[in-house]
Structure formats: structure tokens, C-alpha cells
Amino acid sequence: MQAECLRGRAIQYYRRRHEKPDGRALLLYGYEPHSGESGPEFEDPVSSGSEMRFHPLRQEWALYSPHRQNRTFQPSKAANPLAPATQDGAITEIPFSDFELAVFGNRFPSLHPEAPDPAAASWKTQPARGDAEVVVYSPEDTGSLATIGQDRRILLIEAMIDRYQHHFEAGAAYVLPFENRGEAVGVTLSHPHGQIYAFPVVPEPQVKAEAAFAAGYDLEADRQSWGKDFAIAEAGGLQSWCPPFARFPYEVWISTRARRAGPWEFSSEDVEGLATLLGDTVARYDRLFEQPMPYMMSFQAAPADTSGAFQFTVQFYPIMRAAGRLKYLAGVEQATGIFTVDVDPKAAAKALRDT
């Protein structure tokens, strides 16, 4: 299929859709139209057999996907499934010799558009109908949000906006772009990438956040009341900061000064500012302990059906509390949801400002 020219908030870009033999879609985003013939591809059927079960005491859903036990785990460089196709004929998820940024359906998905109805049970269930996508930042097998460059980060945000719109139009209740970075977090593929989950329900933390915003909570007014001690950096219409209520050491949030429900409401200045701060935050993390920081990062935007009062944030949860020391979720945190934090957020903000 020919690449389609799209007008983003900050750029003009192109999107090429390629249908995989197993039924999944591969979307190639770039500043230039992508062309070329595809090489060999995976052809085995993709399992859709996930289901959701409801926890009656915690009032939240869990996903059950036994087929994910077989997903690719720390492959060799030659077997990297996120690399572009090579001359040796190795099969990868991106069967082209080069690309700028790629998004495709996960071969081992937790959510699937055609997930079947669960078997009858005495507990509450529902089909895990949604989507799970992989977002590959670059053809290079090393790098990070800090090193891929501003142009690639802007393209990434524009692609995220495109996927938000697609999944909402397809009926998703909530869309979560996220990144897990580092083996310490459990990452199975080291190639720089993130993911996008499109949920059939709004997860409980986002239900609570939506309720708080609908009741009149003003995050930006609250942030300003804390003063400059928690601030880290500014760019465009956004800022990065450590929340005084952080649950993780060196936790960082990025937010817009003007209220935005999600990046689909961004101006070009907002897109450029977010791209800058994504790179800046990861660079500061990597300088902090002079090694790549393992972290979990998510785009926290409004659900599909919202009051319009939601405030978009990007939230980074790093899991190092000091050089060579990981932050683990202890029994009390798992059991109660009450986190014990070893680094004061004001001190964390100063350390990150000074790196």
C-alpha cells in the first residue's frame, strides 16, 4: 500500500499500512513516504485467547494470557525481532530493509480485537477485547528516548496521537501508551521500544483520577503552590517535576501548563515541548547514577468517555533508589498499596536538576 500523507500538530508525516500474513497490521511512520517490497514474515496464527477477571475486594480487573509464557525472551542480536529485515533472511516483525518508526500488533497479545467469550465461571469475567501494539522507536538496536533525537521523538508523539484516535474510534474505553525499560523491570527485548494497550474498560487508577478532576481538582494550581523546589525543567508549554506525593524514588511527571485531556489536544508547541522533556528526563536519569536507569513510563490521558476535565501527564517510575540499589515492591506495598519511599521528592528534584 502507498504511504498516506498526514498533517500532524507539529509536522507533516507519512503512514504506510502493511498487512502481515497472520492478520496483524504493521504501520510505518516517517518524514518521507515509505516504499519497498516486504521480505519473509511470521505466519503462525496469533493467539487471541485472553480473558479478564474481576477482583471483588480490590474492585479491579486482571488480564489472563497464558500464551504469553511463550513470548520471545532476550534473543541474540541476530534473532532480534524488532530489527529491520537483513540480507541473511532472518524473519523479523518489520520485513523491510529500513524504516523510521514502526507500530504493529503484538504477536503475544494480552488484549485482542477478537478475544473470545470466556468459559462460564462462578467469578466475574469478560472478554479481553482490545488491542496490544508494539512501538519501535528506531531501526537501531541500541538507544533510548534520550538519544533517538528530537525529530524522532516528535514523530513518536504524532504516531501516538494517531493511535489514540484509531483505538478510540474502534471502541476502546482507555488507551495507554507506555514503556518498560531495562532487564530489572522485566523487559524481554532490549531494542528501544514501547507499547500501546487499548482497554475495553477504564482501569481503576484512571477511574479515580477522572473522578478527582471531575470534582474540580486542579493539578497545575496544586503544582504551582508547591513552589520551585519540586521543578526540574521546562520546554514549550510543559514542565517536568517530582511530585511531593511520589511513590517511587526519583519519580518524575511531565505536564502541560494549560489543561489538556490528552495529546490529541496538543498544539505544535506542546508536541515539541513534550518531545524535549521526554529526552531530557531520560538523559537526567542516565546521568544520575552514571548508568541507564530502569524505569516504567506511561502516558496518562483521559478515557474515551470523560467529563473533559482530565489533565494529561507523563509519569516515570524509576526503580533505582541509589547507585547499584533497586527499589523493590515490598510486602506492605503489594498488600496495601501504601508505598514506602526512601528518597524525599524535593531532594530527588534537586538531584535531577543538578545532573
Active site residue 193: yes
* DSSP, residue by residue, 53-102: EEETTTTEEEEE-GGGGGS--S--GGG-TTSBP-TT----SB-SS--SEE
Return the SS3 of 21: coil
For cell 502541560, name the residue: 256
* 82/136 Cα distance (integer angstroms): 7
Q: Find the catalytic residue in 18, 112, 167, 193.
A: 193
Distance between terminal CA atoms of the chain?
Answer: 46
Cell numbers standing for residue 225: 503552590
For cell 481538582, name the residue: 217
What are phi and psi for residue 153, nearest 5 degrees?
A: -65, -40
Dihedral through CA 3, CA 7, CA 9, CA 15, nearest 10? Answer: -10
Contact 300, 38 (CB under 8 A): no
Contact 97, 37 (CB under 8 A): no
* 342/329 Cα distance (integer angstroms): 12
Contact 142, 160 (CB under 8 A): no
User: Active-site residues: which are they?
Assistant: 193
